[in-house]
Amino acid sequence: MTATLPATHVFDVDQLSFEADVLQASLHTPVLVDFWATWCEPCKTLGPMLEKLAAEYNGAFRLGKVDVDTQQELAGMFGIRSIPTVMLVKDGQVLDGFTGALPEGQLREFLARHVQPLAAAAEEEAVDEAAAETPEQAVQRWQQAIAAEPDQAALKLELALALMRAGQLAAAEAQLVALPANLATDARAQRLRSELDLAQALVAAPTLAALQQRVQADPSDWEARDLLGVRLLHEGDAAGGLEQFLAILQHARDWNGGAGKQRLLAAFATLDDAELVGRYRRKMASLLF
């Protein structure tokens, strides 16, 4: 499958170019990443439709193509289990995605949720700023929307996200568990799961100082390192937290069911620093492959 559109719209992605061409570039323009393979029949259906839409949107988003056969490490870093898998990257983070060859109508609906002409996006941002609301107000708004349209499952995901932002962890967890299967794999739902896992780890965790003392006394106290990493993330020291998880992956890869790798992936899903995430993805990959 060869991209037939100008490079400004469609381009090939490899592990070396991913950080600059996808993560960094998405800070300015959303990037749709298509994980595909030449032998994949659904990919042959989906790929041309994505390229058609990239041309139609005329630069409102770019389409990056990842051949999973030649870029196995990159596919592994993102946990790609089936193809085609499509991820929308915006502001340096995976914002949404889907698996399988969707019909064109559903593709348009997917794009319409996230991608708009620059003028429309600027207008929406101004409206959002004027209508700023507290997390508690957002919870109430989504609860009212669900009461009015109880069959709209997508509203329940919005409520779960609002509950998380409001610090209502148990309620957010309940909403997340109750999501239908198609929404449970939504990129925002997966990010929420990562945020909840990290937040719940701190519910009964020792203080930052106590955890630092434990690690200093015993560098192989993996439980202390794990919780210290989460504490540091929570305190805003993302690099320090990632270093703790990386140490677990390097020296005790199988500890607690591979917790080092799982914590790294969860942290990547919640961090908005594209450069930092890209750097530590490469460090993780160097230990795994």
Pull the structure tokens for residue 256.
């607690």
Angle in degrees, CA 190, 192, 194, rounded to 5: 75
Question: Do 225 and 244 form a contact (C-beta atoms < 8 A)?
Answer: yes
**Pick the catalytic residue: 25, 33, 40, 259?**
40
Q: Taking the CB of residue 34, how many other CB atoms lie within 10 A of it?
A: 24
Tokens (6 digits) for 258: 């591979």
Backbone angles phi, psi at 21, to 5 degrees: -80, -20
Q: Which of 10, 13, 33, 43 is catalytic?
A: 43
Q: How many Å apart are CA 37 and CA 12, to the nearest integer?
A: 12
The one-letter code for the residue type at 24 is Q
Contact 160, 192 (CB under 8 A): yes
40 carries an active-site annotation: yes
The alpha helices in the chain, defined as continuous H runs, are 15-18, 41-57, 72-77, 104-112, 118-130, 135-148, 153-165, 169-177, 181-184, 187-201, 208-217, 222-234, 238-251, 259-270, 274-288
Q: Hey, what are 17's tokens? A: 């170019």
163 belongs to the catalytic site:
no
As annotated, the active-site residues are 40, 43
